Protein backbone atom coordinates (compact mmCIF):
# COMPACT_ATOMS: atom_id res chain seq x y z
CA UNK A 1 0.00 0.00 0.00
CA UNK A 2 1.40 3.41 -0.96
CA UNK A 3 2.24 5.92 1.74
CA UNK A 4 -0.19 8.83 2.04
CA UNK A 5 0.88 12.04 0.34
CA UNK A 6 2.19 14.64 2.79
CA UNK A 7 0.21 17.85 3.21
CA UNK A 8 1.86 21.28 3.39
CA UNK A 9 1.67 21.08 7.18
CA UNK A 10 3.29 17.65 7.17
CA UNK A 11 6.06 18.88 4.92
CA UNK A 12 6.77 21.83 7.19
CA UNK A 13 6.96 19.44 10.17
CA UNK A 14 9.46 17.27 8.29
CA UNK A 15 11.61 20.31 7.54
CA UNK A 16 11.42 21.45 11.18
CA UNK A 17 12.67 18.05 12.35
CA UNK A 18 15.56 18.24 9.92
CA UNK A 19 16.43 21.74 11.14
CA UNK A 20 16.50 20.65 14.79
CA UNK A 21 20.18 19.65 14.58
CA UNK A 22 21.13 22.22 11.91
CA UNK A 23 22.03 19.37 9.55
CA UNK A 24 20.35 18.21 6.36
CA UNK A 25 21.70 14.70 5.85
CA UNK A 26 21.67 12.94 2.49
CA UNK A 27 19.00 10.56 3.81
CA UNK A 28 16.83 13.45 5.02
CA UNK A 29 17.28 15.28 1.72
CA UNK A 30 16.26 12.18 -0.25
CA UNK A 31 13.15 11.70 1.90
CA UNK A 32 12.16 15.36 1.66
CA UNK A 33 12.71 15.36 -2.10
CA UNK A 34 10.46 12.31 -2.46
CA UNK A 35 7.76 13.90 -0.31
CA UNK A 36 7.89 17.14 -2.27
CA UNK A 37 7.60 15.22 -5.55
CA UNK A 38 4.63 13.24 -4.21
CA UNK A 39 3.08 16.46 -2.90
CA UNK A 40 2.93 17.60 -6.51
CA UNK A 41 2.16 21.25 -5.83
CA UNK A 42 3.62 24.22 -7.70
CA UNK A 43 3.51 27.98 -7.65
CA UNK A 44 1.91 29.71 -4.66
CA UNK A 45 1.69 26.54 -2.51
CA UNK A 46 5.41 25.76 -2.65
CA UNK A 47 6.32 29.44 -2.46
CA UNK A 48 4.34 29.68 0.78
CA UNK A 49 6.11 26.59 2.13
CA UNK A 50 9.43 28.20 1.24
CA UNK A 51 8.39 31.36 3.10
CA UNK A 52 7.49 29.25 6.15
CA UNK A 53 10.90 27.58 6.09
CA UNK A 54 12.61 30.94 6.28
CA UNK A 55 10.30 31.81 9.19
CA UNK A 56 11.49 28.66 10.98
CA UNK A 57 15.09 29.82 10.59
CA UNK A 58 14.28 33.35 11.76
CA UNK A 59 12.85 31.92 15.01
CA UNK A 60 16.35 30.70 15.89
CA UNK A 61 17.99 34.14 15.64
CA UNK A 62 17.42 37.29 17.68
CA UNK A 63 19.89 39.89 16.45
CA UNK A 64 18.85 42.40 13.81
CA UNK A 65 21.89 41.69 11.58
CA UNK A 66 21.07 37.98 11.55
CA UNK A 67 17.42 38.60 10.77
CA UNK A 68 18.36 41.07 8.04
CA UNK A 69 20.71 38.51 6.47
CA UNK A 70 17.93 35.90 6.46
CA UNK A 71 15.49 38.37 4.91
CA UNK A 72 18.05 39.09 2.20
CA UNK A 73 18.62 35.38 1.55
CA UNK A 74 14.89 34.74 1.22
CA UNK A 75 14.48 37.60 -1.27
CA UNK A 76 17.59 36.60 -3.22
CA UNK A 77 16.64 32.92 -3.40
CA UNK A 78 13.26 33.90 -4.88
CA UNK A 79 15.13 35.28 -7.90
CA UNK A 80 16.37 31.76 -8.66
CA UNK A 81 12.85 30.39 -8.97
CA UNK A 82 11.15 30.21 -12.39
CA UNK A 83 8.83 33.16 -13.10
CA UNK A 84 5.14 32.64 -12.40
CA UNK A 85 4.31 32.38 -16.09
CA UNK A 86 6.76 29.49 -16.45
CA UNK A 87 4.79 27.56 -13.83
CA UNK A 88 1.64 27.87 -15.92
CA UNK A 89 2.95 26.17 -19.04
CA UNK A 90 0.80 23.69 -20.92
CA UNK A 91 2.23 20.51 -22.43
CA UNK A 92 0.79 17.52 -24.28
CA UNK A 93 2.44 14.19 -25.11
CA UNK A 94 1.44 11.84 -27.95
CA UNK A 95 2.50 8.31 -28.86
CA UNK A 96 1.89 6.54 -32.15
CA UNK A 97 0.30 4.42 -33.39
CA UNK A 98 -2.29 4.57 -30.57
CA UNK A 99 -2.86 8.32 -30.17
CA UNK A 100 -4.34 10.64 -32.79
CA UNK A 101 -0.97 12.08 -33.71
CA UNK A 102 -2.04 13.42 -37.10
CA UNK A 103 -4.99 15.22 -35.53
CA UNK A 104 -2.73 16.79 -32.92
CA UNK A 105 -0.30 18.01 -35.59
CA UNK A 106 -3.17 19.36 -37.69
CA UNK A 107 -4.53 21.28 -34.69
CA UNK A 108 -1.07 22.65 -33.91
CA UNK A 109 -0.76 23.94 -37.47
CA UNK A 110 -4.30 25.33 -37.47
CA UNK A 111 -3.64 27.30 -34.27
CA UNK A 112 -0.76 29.21 -35.89
CA UNK A 113 -2.03 32.73 -36.49
CA UNK A 114 1.01 34.52 -37.92
CA UNK A 115 4.13 32.35 -38.25
CA UNK A 116 4.92 28.69 -38.58
CA UNK A 117 8.44 27.28 -38.74
CA UNK A 118 8.69 23.60 -39.65
CA UNK A 119 11.94 21.65 -39.43
CA UNK A 120 11.40 18.01 -40.42
CA UNK A 121 13.39 15.25 -42.09
CA UNK A 122 10.56 14.50 -44.50
CA UNK A 123 6.92 15.38 -45.23
CA UNK A 124 4.81 12.77 -46.97
CA UNK A 125 1.54 12.53 -45.03
CA UNK A 126 -1.02 14.31 -47.26
CA UNK A 127 -3.18 15.14 -44.25
CA UNK A 128 -0.39 17.17 -42.70
CA UNK A 129 0.59 18.66 -46.05
CA UNK A 130 -2.99 19.83 -46.57
CA UNK A 131 -2.90 21.55 -43.17
CA UNK A 132 0.36 23.28 -44.09
CA UNK A 133 -1.06 24.43 -47.42
CA UNK A 134 -4.19 25.74 -45.69
CA UNK A 135 -2.06 27.72 -43.23
CA UNK A 136 -0.01 29.15 -46.10
CA UNK A 137 -3.16 30.08 -48.00
CA UNK A 138 -4.69 31.91 -45.03
CA UNK A 139 -1.60 34.11 -44.78
CA UNK A 140 0.52 32.38 -42.15
CA UNK A 141 4.22 33.00 -42.82
CA UNK A 142 5.38 29.42 -43.35
CA UNK A 143 9.03 28.35 -43.58
CA UNK A 144 10.12 24.75 -44.06
CA UNK A 145 13.53 23.19 -43.43
CA UNK A 146 14.07 19.65 -44.70
CA UNK A 147 16.67 17.15 -45.88
CA UNK A 148 17.71 16.73 -49.52
CA UNK A 149 17.91 12.93 -49.38
CA UNK A 150 14.13 12.65 -48.86
CA UNK A 151 13.05 15.07 -51.62
CA UNK A 152 12.45 12.40 -54.20
CA UNK A 153 11.10 9.65 -51.99
CA UNK A 154 7.78 8.23 -53.15
CA UNK A 155 5.05 10.40 -51.65
CA UNK A 156 7.29 13.32 -50.68
CA UNK A 157 5.26 16.54 -50.65
CA UNK A 158 8.15 19.00 -50.54
CA UNK A 159 7.94 19.89 -54.24
CA UNK A 160 4.17 20.38 -53.91
CA UNK A 161 4.71 22.79 -51.02
CA UNK A 162 7.40 24.65 -52.97
CA UNK A 163 5.11 24.95 -55.99
CA UNK A 164 2.47 26.52 -53.74
CA UNK A 165 4.94 29.24 -52.75
CA UNK A 166 6.14 27.95 -49.38
CA UNK A 167 9.65 29.14 -48.48
CA UNK A 168 11.88 26.06 -48.22
CA UNK A 169 15.54 25.61 -47.29
CA UNK A 170 17.27 22.25 -47.72
CA UNK A 171 20.29 20.54 -46.21
CA UNK A 172 22.41 19.61 -49.23
CA UNK A 173 25.35 18.27 -47.25
CA UNK A 174 26.33 14.61 -46.91
CA UNK A 175 24.88 14.69 -43.40
CA UNK A 176 21.20 14.57 -42.50
CA UNK A 177 18.95 17.34 -41.24
CA UNK A 178 17.13 14.82 -39.05
CA UNK A 179 15.07 17.13 -36.81
CA UNK A 180 11.31 16.79 -36.40
CA UNK A 181 9.99 19.97 -34.82
CA UNK A 182 7.74 22.92 -35.55
CA UNK A 183 7.20 26.30 -33.90
CA UNK A 184 3.92 28.21 -33.97
CA UNK A 185 3.92 32.01 -33.54
CA UNK A 186 7.11 31.79 -31.47
CA UNK A 187 4.93 30.62 -28.58
CA UNK A 188 4.67 26.83 -28.77
CA UNK A 189 6.79 23.99 -30.09
CA UNK A 190 6.02 20.47 -31.30
CA UNK A 191 8.99 18.10 -31.12
CA UNK A 192 9.81 14.40 -30.91
CA UNK A 193 10.80 11.34 -32.92
CA UNK A 194 7.66 11.44 -35.06
CA UNK A 195 8.33 11.74 -38.81
CA UNK A 196 5.53 13.43 -40.75
CA UNK A 197 4.70 10.26 -42.69
CA UNK A 198 1.86 7.75 -42.94
CA UNK A 199 4.09 5.01 -41.53
CA UNK A 200 4.68 7.05 -38.37
CA UNK A 201 0.95 7.38 -37.77
CA UNK A 202 -0.05 3.81 -38.65
CA UNK A 203 2.80 1.50 -37.68
CA UNK A 204 5.81 3.05 -35.98
CA UNK A 205 6.32 3.54 -32.27
CA UNK A 206 6.93 7.29 -32.22
CA UNK A 207 6.37 10.21 -29.90
CA UNK A 208 6.14 13.98 -29.78
CA UNK A 209 5.62 16.70 -27.23
CA UNK A 210 3.76 19.99 -27.64
CA UNK A 211 4.65 22.66 -25.08
CA UNK A 212 4.48 26.42 -24.61
CA UNK A 213 7.36 26.47 -22.10
CA UNK A 214 9.06 29.76 -23.00
CA UNK A 215 12.63 28.61 -22.40
CA UNK A 216 12.16 25.51 -24.55
CA UNK A 217 10.44 27.41 -27.38
CA UNK A 218 13.23 29.99 -27.44
CA UNK A 219 15.91 27.30 -27.81
CA UNK A 220 14.09 25.71 -30.74
CA UNK A 221 13.46 29.10 -32.35
CA UNK A 222 17.16 29.97 -32.11
CA UNK A 223 18.15 26.63 -33.66
CA UNK A 224 15.67 27.07 -36.50
CA UNK A 225 17.03 30.54 -37.30
CA UNK A 226 20.60 29.22 -37.21
CA UNK A 227 19.78 26.40 -39.62
CA UNK A 228 17.69 28.64 -41.88
CA UNK A 229 20.67 30.96 -42.29
CA UNK A 230 23.17 28.17 -42.86
CA UNK A 231 21.17 25.97 -45.26
CA UNK A 232 20.48 26.95 -48.84
CA UNK A 233 17.16 27.70 -50.51
CA UNK A 234 15.43 24.83 -52.30
CA UNK A 235 15.94 24.78 -56.05
CA UNK A 236 13.57 22.94 -58.40
CA UNK A 237 15.20 19.70 -59.50
What average pLDDT does the segment 150-169 reach? 88
Please indicate whether residue 178 is annotated as part of the active site.
Answer: yes
Q: Mean pLDDT score of the chain, rounded to an integer?
A: 86
How does strand 206-211 pair with strand 188-192? antiparallel
- Please say whether the beta carbons of 140 and 115 come within 8 A: yes
What average pLDDT does the segment 32-53 reach? 70
Residue 202, pLDDT score? 92
Better pLDDT: 124 or 28: 124
Q: Which of 99, 185, 212, 213 is catalytic?
A: 185
Please indicate whether residue 171 is annotated as part of the active site.
Answer: no
Please indicate whether residue 154 is annotated as part of the active site.
Answer: no
Q: Which of 178, 179, 212, 213 is catalytic?
A: 178
Which of 104-113, 149-158, 192-201 has the lowest average pLDDT?
A: 149-158
Give per-residue pLDDT as tens, 22-34.
788 888 887 877 7
pTM of the model: 0.65
Better pLDDT: 132 or 23: 132
- Please say whether the beta carbons of 107 and 128 come within 8 A: no
Q: Looking at the predicted structure, is the pLDDT value of residue 82 above 80? A: no
Q: How far is CA 198 from CA 92, 117, 127, in A?
A: 21, 21, 9
Task: Provide the sign of the torsion angle of the four alpha carbons 174, 175, 180, 184, taken in this order.
Answer: negative
Q: How far is CA 226 from CA 6, 43, 156, 234, in A?
A: 46, 34, 25, 17
Q: How far apart are alpha carbons 233 and 224 in whole angstroms? A: 14
Amino acid sequence: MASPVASSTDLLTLFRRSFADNTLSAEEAQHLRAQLAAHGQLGPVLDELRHQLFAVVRERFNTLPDKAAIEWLEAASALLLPPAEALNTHSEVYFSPDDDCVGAIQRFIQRAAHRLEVCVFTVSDDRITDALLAAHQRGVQLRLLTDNDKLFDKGSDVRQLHAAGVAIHVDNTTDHMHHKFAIADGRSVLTGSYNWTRSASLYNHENFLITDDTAIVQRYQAEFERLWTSLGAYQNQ
